[in-house]
Structure formats: structure tokens, C-alpha cells
Amino acid sequence: MLFESRRLIPLLLVAAAAAQPAAAQVPPAPATDYRARSPEQEIVYFVLPDRFENGDTKNDRGGLKGDRLTTGYDPTSRGFYHGGDLKGLTARLDYVQSLGATAIWFAPIFRNKPVQGPKGQESAGYHGYWVTDFTSVDSHFGTNAEFRTFVDAAHARGMKVYMDIIANHTADVIQYREATKDGYPYHSKADYPFSRRGGAGGPAINPGFAGDSDGSPANWARLTDSTYAYTPYVPKGEEHAKTPDWLNDTRFYHNRGNTDWKGESSQYGDFVGLDDLATEDPRVVQGFIDIYGGWIDRFGIDGFRIDTARHVNPEFWRAFVPAMLARAKARGIPNFHIFGEVATDLYDPALLASWTRNAGLPSVLDFAFMRAAVDAASGKTGSEELARLFDDDALYEGGKPAARRLPTFLGNHDAGRFGMFLKQANPAASSEELLARDKLGHALMLTLRGVPVIYYGDEQGFVSDGNDQMAREDMFPSKVAEYNDNHLIGSNSSTATGSFNPDHPLYRTIAELARIRRSTPALSEGTTRVRASSDKPGLFAVSRFDPASGREVLLAFNTSASAISANVAVDPASGSFTALAGPCPGAAIAPGSVAIQLPPFGYAICAAKD
């Protein structure tokens, strides 16, 4: 959530020529078909509405009057609203679909607190994660009616709509009477039990409350005093700042001070002041079932990405997820996709998988894939972690088939962009090398198991100077100096001009890879067998198998700066191949073996013939 000419050039030109597809225009899928698609059949485009397209300048200030600290609008500052909205997103659906996306996931569009933060450090809720009204669209983005228009327009094209939701926290409204030179440090349950005011030695409060592990309504009705750790209060004038109104009661929050991101505080602490909800309380559980079930009922959306999922108690998700799936099924949405954010910068599939087993999340964002793919494509490591990924898929609830529904990605609005990671790992790389590595990374994502997520702007070579605000550039002409001075990959343009070029080499490559994926069931639904990997940059190869026919599709990638020639094992029945992309052998050199030749950073997608 809150949390940018060498000896290789001749070979790189060969790689570019081998992998460069023609520009693709994707016809809309039949609208009657989209609900039947399973999650692993999707290709997702992730966008921040504020940074995508400004379709209505009249809502730039959200209907508010005053300077940027009141309206939240300052298109020259990366921490404030820039003017993108739902009308703009709707107008650009053709651009998104022509890239090959079948689903669009967007950052939260709920009404936010326009501006918050300490004096001199204020920023705006342009990103959508500082919610005050969970039932309405933020007026900076438009209206509920305009959201319906967007959803209907996407559905008419056969595209699915995934909402980004939050249950961990709201905007920062609740304040504490106590303050220290360090602000509001976290107060633990051991030192500040629910049964005493202001610490273990304080006066008795909340008689009969058996602790928050007892989720019965009768138990939580006994928690009537919120002053166990701090003395929370709602500032004058903000008594009804949140909607639904139950969210204005301090009893429904943890009120233990700011998290230090470790241990108990990771679940109970405030994220830099954001009001942390007591999701153990059954009234909070039911409240969010009602809130988000309402969005399914009213708009017929197709899935939820859950922000900060790992900072909410697992019991909450075990109640919430089945309720949402049932609500969606009743609305005629049989393949409602729910995936949670369990953020980590490490290769740690065990952590990710634990939230599918312990919390019952159907899927999680695949941070393990991100780590392995970015490190391999950048040349930072070999491909051993990529190869290991498919064995580790057995850890997820539902095993390897469930892992095919994990959203995979190369960068995002929190961690930073893939282009930035490539530049950081290769500071002396030529522009040709960076483009070739960028294509290679997207080839990995769009052909390996999982649900590919394209982060908006990556198809235009955005790079970012860092994470968070620095990785949230504008697609429409930007006025932010820190964005406009970036050297984009694959283009001599900048973010100062509009960035919707369908002829950008990355746009064209992604569109062609998406076309291949959609027309090749082995790439979205097939099993995986690793054929070659190494602890150093070089050949990485896997076979994917068609779920109906069992026919093999061989994928080969060269993560090194040198051309490679090697024999790769295949199924003995795979005697000849059709090249779907890149240089493929026409036939096996012997039953069970093919000769692969790839230029630096090249890749090949080779389908076995009947």
C-alpha cells in the first residue's frame, strides 16, 4: 500500500529483430463469454486512476475550494491529486484492451480524506488508501453513476473489473490525548491489557471481556472502554467523517499507537497514523461484509485485490472471503477472483502460501515470482529461484493448480517499477540492452504460470526514480519535474507528453505476448516442467503442457549478455515445432532433445506440432 554503445549492440539488434512483433490490435471479446473465464485465463492491467487520464477537468479539485491543502489538487507535486478520473479511464479502455489486457484492476476509488500528514509533510489521498466513505466514489474521480458507466463499458468489451479494497484501516481521523517526543509508539497487549486503563497497573475497565481471541458478539459487547492503551478521541467537526457511521466509534479500532512493522504491532498498530480497525470484532467483520457485498450487488464487479491483507487477523478473512464468493455467485459471477497483498521483498513463497492456508485467501500477489523474475531478467542472479518456484507451488492451499491463479508482476506502485530495477542492476547498460531485458522480463511474466499483471506505464518504458510516490507517474502530460526528467526505456519521449503510444516497442511486444498467451491454453492453464536452469545468467527453459491435449510448448529464455547454443530436453513425442515467438527449432535432433540457439536476452516460444 503505502508503503524509479557497447560490444553487445550487434547481438542485441539480433535479439530485437528476432523477438519484435508487429503492432497488434485486439478485437473485443464477446461480452457473453467474460464471466465464464477462470482467473488464470486473465491478463490484468493495474492502474492508479488519478495518474491515468483526465476525462473531466471539472472534478480535479473534488468539488472543494481552496489551496492544495484543502482540495488535495496540485498536478506539479507527486504527492497530490493530478486530475485522472473514471471518465478518463473509460475513454482509454480501447488502449488497455489493445495491449491485450482482459481485466483491469485499479487503486481504490472510495472517498478519501483529501489531505493529511504533519504540518509541512502533508500529502493527498490520490492513491485511494485513506478512506473515509467506503460506500461512495471519491469526487476527485467522479460519481457512483460514472463508476457504473465504467464497469458497464468494460463488461461490454468482455473485460473484467477488479476493485482494490481495504479492511485494515481508514483515514487518520482518530487522535490520542497522550503524546511523546516520539509521537505515539506502539503499546502492546501485555503492557496495556484490555482490562486496565492506561497500562497493567491502571484502573479496571471492560469487566468480563475475555480478550480478542473470543469472537462472540456477547464477548465484544463487553468492550465498552477504548482507553486501555491510549485515550482516543475524534476531533471536533469530524464526529461523522466516516461512512458508514459505525466507523466513527473508537471502540471499533485498536487504538494502540503506530506500528513498528514487527510482531504484534504488525496486526494491531496504526500505519503511520492511519486508524487501525479491530477486525477481530464481529461487528467490524459484518460491517465490511455489508460494505463490499454492496459493491458486488450494485455494480457486478468481478474481483477484489485486498490491500494490507497480512496485517489483518486470519479469522477475519475466513469469514469475509466465503461471504464475498457467495455474494458474487448469487449475482451471477461464478469466477470472482480474490487476491491479497502479503508484501515482502524476499523470495518467500512459504510466507505467501501461509496466508492461503491459515487465512483462507484464495490467492495472493506473487511477490516470490517478482523477486525471482526481476533478479533473473536483470542479470542480478541466475535462474535457480525461478526454477524452484514451481516446486514451491505445492505449498499453497490447493497446491500447484491454485498457484496458477497467483497474480504475477514485475513491479508496482509500492515497490517501484521494473525499469528502475533493471537500471539499478545494470547502471552502465546501453538503451538497447535495457529494452531487451525489459522485453525478456515481460516474456517471462506472460508465458510462465500465474496471472500476469501489467503495471500501467511499463508498456511505455516508465522507469521511476524510486518506490511509492516516485513510481506513480502520469500517463497524460505530466507537470511533475521528478517524473519528466526520467529517461524512458525504448523511447526518446518523456512523461511531459502523453504516453499512450501503441507503437512503443514494449507496448507492441506485450500485446503480441498477450495474444500468444490467450490463444495458447498451455500458457495459462498448463502444468510446468523445468528443463534447464543455472546459478548464473544463461539458459532458462521450461515446458508447459496443454491441459486438454497434453501437447508441449517449450519456453526458452537467455538471461545472459552472450548468445547461447544448447540442447534442451523435451517430451519424446514432440518431434517438430511451430515458432510462436523467437527462433525455434523446426524439429528435434533426436527423440527427447532439441537444439536451442538464442541471442543475448532473447526468448523463444515453441509449440509442438500434432
SS3 call for 531: strand
1 part of a folded domain: no
Q: How many CB atoms lie within 10 A of CB 55?
A: 21
pLDDT in tens, 402-431: 999 999 999 999 999 999 999 999 999 999
Q: Average pLDDT in the 452-477 region?
A: 98
Specify whether the CB–CB gap between 392 and 369 falls below 8 A: no
Q: Average pLDDT in the 378-403 region?
A: 98
Average pLDDT, the chain: 94
- In this structure, the answer to whether residues 346 and 482 fall within a common structural domain is yes
pLDDT value of residue 32: 56
pLDDT value of residue 182: 82
pLDDT tier, 12 (very low <50, low <70, confident <90, very high otherwise): very low
- In this structure, the answer to whether residues 95 and 202 fall within a common structural domain is no
For residue 341, indicate whether it is catalytic: yes
Name the grid cell of 199: 497500562
CA distances for 13 relative to 18, 85, 157, 177, 329, angstroms: 9, 40, 37, 64, 50
- Candidate from 14-28, 193-207, 476-490, 546-560 with smallest mean pLDDT: 14-28
Nearest one of 352, 331, 354 to 342, comparing CA atoms: 352
Q: Is pLDDT above 50 for 19?
A: no
User: Per the structure, how many domains does the chain have?
Assistant: 3
Domain boundary among 498, 518, 538: 518
d(C-alpha 22, C-alpha 88), whole Å: 27
For residue 307, indicate whether it is catalytic: yes
- Candidate from 17-21, 56-60, 104-108 with smallest mean pLDDT: 17-21
Tell me whether residue 29 is exposed, middle or buried, using C-beta atoms within 10 angstroms of its C-beta: 0 to 12, 13 to 18, 19 or more.
middle
Domain boundary among 253, 275, 297: 275
- In this structure, the answer to whether residues 146 and 32 fall within a common structural domain is yes
155 part of a folded domain: yes
CA distances for 399 relative to 133, 258, 282, 372, 396, angstroms: 38, 36, 31, 19, 5
Catalytic site residue from 270, 302, 341, 432: 341
Domain extent, residue 128, equals 9-167+282-518
Q: How many CB atoms lie within 10 A of CB 190?
A: 8
pLDDT value of residue 155: 98
94 part of a folded domain: yes
Q: Is pLDDT above 60 for 8?
A: no
Q: Average pLDDT in the 481-490 region?
A: 97
Q: Is pLDDT above 60 for 14?
A: no
Q: Average pLDDT in the 44-64 region?
A: 98
- In this structure, the answer to whether residues 73 and 201 fall within a common structural domain is no
Question: Domain with 440 in it: what CATH number?
Answer: 3.20.20.80
- Furthest C-alpha separation in the chain: 82
Rounded to the nearest angstrom, the gap between the alpha carbon of residue 466 and the centroid of all alpha carbons in its chain is: 17
Name the grid cell of 318: 475466513
- In this structure, the answer to whether residues 152 and 177 fall within a common structural domain is no
Catalytic site residue from 4, 42, 307, 458: 307
- In this structure, the answer to whether residues 316 and 413 fall within a common structural domain is yes
- Candidate from 44-48, 156-160, 178-182, 194-198 with smallest mean pLDDT: 178-182
Q: How many CB atoms lie within 10 A of CB 547?
A: 14
pLDDT tier, 33 (very low <50, low <70, confident <90, very high otherwise): confident
Question: Domain with 535 in it: what CATH number?
Answer: 2.60.40.1180
- In this structure, the answer to whether residues 265 and 289 fall within a common structural domain is no
Percent of the chain with pLDDT over 70: 95
Q: Is pLDDT above 80 for 127?
A: yes
Antiparallel, parallel or unpaired: β 115-116 and 110-112: unpaired
3 part of a folded domain: no
pLDDT value of residue 342: 98
pLDDT in tens, 299-313: 999 999 999 999 999
Q: Is pLDDT above 70 for 88?
A: yes
- In this structure, the answer to whether residues 454 and 436 fall within a common structural domain is yes
Domain boundary among 275, 301, 334: 275
Q: Average pLDDT in the 539-549 region?
A: 98
